[in-house]
Every structure is written in structure tokens, then in C-alpha cells.
């Protein structure tokens, strides 16, 4: 190697010194203004140029044989290792609750009294409002008087009948009259109960929509909104192709950006019905809400675990190339010596699921394989490379 460098330097010095003489000689030839002399000088220089080029070529060939490291590409590598791979389906959902209700009346009339205000906590069965009964309470009072009389008549008639006094028809008429009166009272009480608006579950009055004194219609007028923040969940639509992988009990990471909150939970329920309009099925994901900071209709980002491989080989997607046949391949290192010089070999691989910037390799490489990372796009199959991992 040292000999070649010395020979090259000597040749360059010789050419430089000779070049100075040739310049002077060429100038003298040009000054002669003789065409024959000029042409002769040109032929001489052309011959010398061809000789120099052939010598340079020989030197280049010798350098390429002896200097095997100078032009070797520099690359970095990593070693493939098996690890747990949890693939997640990322989708958006809305927070809701089953205990969210706009209360409407069951009776037509004037809203005479509202007993609660917005933000007030109420318990199940608590009286929230009262509607004017339109005289039903007076009718009930009269019915009770008539029922008391019918009861007395029936009891007396029964005593006589037990003593075989009187006719059976009188006894039956008294009994029928009394039972009819009791039934009428029960029906009227049910009507009166409808004039009272009570809480169907424990919760908080979120909004009072109708003030007292307004006329309300059964099943139409919105009186107030009652909400409970205890049983909160997220509902979302999942594409049908995931129906076998997204099942009850699957792990879910819930992110609520507005609150800056992340919750680890599970799928509570999956629907058995596929919506024909968009080919999706519904999923419910329970979320704890002890501090009641989570509100209905908040938007949440979900990461649902739909696939797990305990012994997965993961590689960056950026190092994968594709050939003309549509096959994916990477470069692996073999025969690496103590100077970190090895051979890059192209290996066809079969890939699986992706997550972020990594992809699962199903076939083609094994645990412990050294794979080209930086420089993967510039190497060729069978090429010598130098590994410069830091």
C-alpha cells in the first residue's frame, strides 16, 4: 500500500515538472507558426496522454484490490428480539350514562309547585313537583265516605247471612257494592299519584325547564333533567371486521383530552346486532367516576386491545423495502469479522399487524438476527458493509 502511494506521488511530480517543459516547448512551436511542426507536436502530446491514462488505470486497479475497506458502506444494525406485542384499535367514543332522564308529567294540568332547584341532589322516590289534580282529591274524599257506608252494609249483611237470615242475593249485592267502591278508590289514588312528580333514581337536578304556574301536558312537557354521574360509560361503534377480537373483558385505555385524564378499564358489553347501515356493532366501556368530573357527552379516545402476541418480533416499518413482485424484504448481516465488516443479505419477510412505527414480522427472521437499520436503503444484496453501532 505504501509503495503504491509513493509511486503515485512520484508520477504526479514527474508530470508536473514535465508539464512545465511541455508548456514552454508548445509556446515555441506556436511561435514558429509552422503547420507541420505544430501538427507533429500535437501527435506527440496525444501519444503521451494515452500512455499516462493507461498507467493511471493500472494504478486504480491495484488500489481497488488492496484497499477493500475504503469504499465499504457504513450502516447501523439492531438485533431482533421476541417481546410482547399488544395491538390496539384506536377509535373515538362519547361518554354517556343510563341514568340521564328528562322528566315529563303523567297528568295534564297546572304545575302548582316545584320543590327542587338546579344542582340539588335528590334520592329515588323524592317528590319533585306537584300538578293541580282538578278536583280528584275531593272526589276521593266522597268515595271514601261512600265506601265506608258500603263496608258497613256489607259487614251487617254478612252477619245476617252467616246466621241464615236474609236472602243470598242481598248478601252478594252488598259485597259487590263494597268491592266496587274499593276498586274505584284505588283507581282514583293512582290518578292522584300521577299528579305528583317523583325522582325515578338517585341523582342531581341538572336543569329545571318548566316553572310552576305553567300548564303541562302528559308525556310532552319537559319538566326537569335528572342525571346521575355514578354509572358512566363510553359508547362507540366498532367496524364488523373486529367482532371476533373486540369482546367482553378486553383491556381498554381511555383518554379524555379535555380533562387530561387517562383511564385503564375494560369492555363491559358488546352488541350482538350488526347495524346494516354502516356495518358496525356497539360497544360499552365502563369508566369510574368517583369525583364526578366526567360528564355526559364528553369526547374520548379509545385504545382497545384487539390482538396480543406473547413472542412477537417487531421491526421499524422504515427499513422494509418491496421488490417488483410485491414481496417485502430487509437486509440481515452475516459473517461479521472482528473489524465489524460483514455481508448484507436480502431476506424476504412476511409481516403482520402494525402499531405506530413498528410492524410485526411473522416469517423470514428469527430471534437474535442482526438487521440493517440506518443505511438499509443504500446497500445491495451480498455487499460488504461496516457496522458502526454506537
Domain-ending residue, one of 273, 290, 308? 308
Mean pLDDT across 16-20: 46
**Residue 112 belongs to domain spanning:** 102-124+199-226
- Residues 139, 186: one domain? yes
- Residues 188, 238: one domain? no
Task: Give CA–CA dist 99/232, Å, rounded.
Answer: 8
- Residues 169, 211: one domain? no
Instruction: Name the nearest CA neighbour of 275 among 236, 301, 233.
Output: 236
- Residues 221, 187: one domain? no
Assign 214 a pLDDT band (cuts: 50, 70, 90). Answer: very high
Judged against a pLDDT cut of 50, whether residue 8 lies above it is answered with: no
Task: State the CATH number of the domain containing residue 108.
Answer: 2.40.50.100
Give the pLDDT confidence of 103-152 residue by residue, as tens digits.
999 999 999 999 999 989 999 999 999 999 888 888 888 888 888 888 88
Judged against a pLDDT cut of 50, whether residue 66 lies above it is answered with: yes
Assign 83 a pLDDT band (cuts: 50, 70, 90). Answer: very high
Please report which residue ranges of the chain form alpha helices under DSSP H. 2-32, 35-66, 136-162, 168-193
Phi-psi group of 360: left, alpha or beta (phi > 0 → left; psi -120 to 50 → alpha; rest → beta): beta
Give the pLDDT confidence of 22-35 residue by residue, as tens digits.
445 778 877 888 88
Assign 390 a pLDDT band (cuts: 50, 70, 90). Answer: low
The cell numbers describing 120, all together, are 340539588
Find how far residue 264's CA is from the centre of its chain.
Answer: 13
Q: How many domains does one find in the chain?
A: 5
What DSSP character marks residue 73?
P
Task: Give CA–CA dist 340/85, Å, rounded.
Answer: 31
Assign 20 a pLDDT band (cuts: 50, 70, 90). Answer: very low
Task: State the CATH number of the domain containing residue 350.
Answer: 2.40.420.20
pLDDT reported for residue 230? 84
Assign 5 a pLDDT band (cuts: 50, 70, 90). Answer: very low
pLDDT reported for residue 13? 41
Domain-ending residue, one of 308, 341, 371? 308
DSSP state string for 93-146: EEEEES-EEEE--SS-EEEEEE---TT-EE-TT-EEEEE--TTHHHHHHHHHHH
Domain-ending residue, one of 173, 194, 215? 194
Distant-in-sequence, close-in-space partners of 265: CB < 8 Å, separation ≥ 6: 251, 252, 254, 285, 286, 287, 288
Distant-in-sequence, close-in-space partners of 153: CB < 8 Å, separation ≥ 6: 174, 177, 178
Task: State the CATH number of the domain containing residue 269.
Answer: 2.40.30.170
Cβ contact 118:100 at 8 Å: no
**Percent of the chain at pLDDT exceeding 90:** 52
pLDDT reported for residue 72? 78
Per mean pLDDT, which of 46-55, 184-193, 323-332 is the most reliable?
323-332
Judged against a pLDDT cut of 80, whether residue 4 lies above it is answered with: no
- Residues 106, 149: one domain? no
- Residues 263, 317: one domain? no
Task: Give CA–CA dist 121/204, Å, rounded.
Answer: 4
Task: Give CA–CA dist 141/38, Å, rounded.
Answer: 144
pLDDT reported for residue 45? 84
- Residues 107, 221: one domain? yes
DSSP helix/strand/coil, 380: coil
- Residues 301, 349: one domain? no
Give the pLDDT confidence of 362-381 residue by residue, as tens digits.
999 999 999 999 988 888 89
- Residues 107, 222: one domain? yes
Mean residue pLDDT across the chain: 86
- Residues 232, 303: one domain? yes
Judged against a pLDDT cut of 60, whether residue 16 lies above it is answered with: no
- Residues 14, 48: one domain? yes
DSSP helix/strand/coil, 263: strand
Cβ contact 104:131 at 8 Å: no
- Residues 299, 232: one domain? yes
User: Is the pLDDT higher at 14 or at 104?
Assistant: 104
Instruction: Name the nearest CA neighbour of 321 among 277, 268, 376.
Output: 376
Assign 353 a pLDDT band (cuts: 50, 70, 90). Answer: very high
Amino acid at each position: 500500500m505504501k509503495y503504491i502511494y509513493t509511486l503515485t506521488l512520484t508520477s504526479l511530480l514527474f508530470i508536473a515538472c514535465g508539464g512545465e517543459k511541455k508548456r514552454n516547448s508548445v509556446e515555441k512551436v506556436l511561435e514558429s507558426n509552422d503547420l507541420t511542426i505544430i501538427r507533429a507536436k500535437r501527435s506527440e502530446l496525444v501519444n503521451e496522454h494515452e500512455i499516462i491514462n493507461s498507467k493511471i488505470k493500472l494504478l486504480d486497479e491495484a488500489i481497488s484490490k488492496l484497499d477493500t475497506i475504503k469504499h465499504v458502506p457504513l450502516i447501523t444494525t439492531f438485533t431482533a428480539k421476541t417481546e410482547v406485542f399488544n395491538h390496539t384499535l384506536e377509535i373515538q367514543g362519547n361518554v354517556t350514562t343510563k341514568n340521564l332522564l328528562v322528566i315529563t308529567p303523567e297528568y295534564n294540568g297546572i304545575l302548582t309547585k316545584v320543590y327542587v332547584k338546579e344542582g340539588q341532589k335528590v334520592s329515588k322516590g323524592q317528590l319533585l313537583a306537584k300538578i293541580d289534580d282538578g278536583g280528584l282529591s275531593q272526589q276521593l274524599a266522597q268515595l271514601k265516605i261512600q265506601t265506608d257506608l258500603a263496608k258497613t252494609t256489607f259487614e251487617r249483611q254478612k252477619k245476617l247471612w252467616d246466621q241464615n237470615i236474609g236472602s243470598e242475593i242481598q248478601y252478594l249485592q252488598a259485597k259487590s257494592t263494597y268491592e266496587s267502591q274499593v276498586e274505584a278508590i284505588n283507581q282514583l289514588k293512582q290518578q292522584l299519584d300521577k299528579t305528583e312528580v317523583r325522582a325515578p333514581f338517585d341523582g342531581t337536578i341538572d336543569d329545571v325547564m318548566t316553572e310552576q304556574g305553567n300548564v303541562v301536558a302528559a308525556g310532552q312537557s319537559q319538566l326537569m333533567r335528572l342525571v346521575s354521574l355514578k354509572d358512566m360509560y363510553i359508547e362507540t361503534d366498532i367496524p364488523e371486521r373486529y367482532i371476533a377480537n373486540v369482546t367482553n373483558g378486553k383491556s381498554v385505555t381511555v383518554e379524555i383530552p379535555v380533562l387530561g385524564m387517562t383511564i385503564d378499564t375494560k369492555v363491559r358489553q358488546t352488541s350482538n346486532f350488526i347495524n346494516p347501515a354502516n356495518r358496525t356493532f356497539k360497544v360499552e366501556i365502563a369508566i369510574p367516576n368517583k369525583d364526578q368530573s366526567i360528564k355526559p357527552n364528553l369526547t374520548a379516545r379509545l385504545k382497545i386491545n384487539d390482538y396480543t402476541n406473547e413472542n412477537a418480533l417487531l421491526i421499524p416499518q422504515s427499513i422494509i423495502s418491496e421488490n417488483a413482485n410485491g414481496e417485502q424484504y430487509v437486509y440481515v448481516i452475516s459473517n461479521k469479522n472482528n473489524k465489524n465488516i460483514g455481508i448484507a443479505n436480502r431476506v424476504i419477510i412476511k409481516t403482520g399487524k402494525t402499531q405506530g412505527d413498528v410492524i410485526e414480522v411473522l416469517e423470514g427472521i428469527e430471534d437474535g438476527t442482526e438487521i440493517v437499520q440506518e443505511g438499509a436503503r443504500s446497500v445491495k444484496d451480498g455487499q460488504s458493509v461496516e457496522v458502526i453501532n454506537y
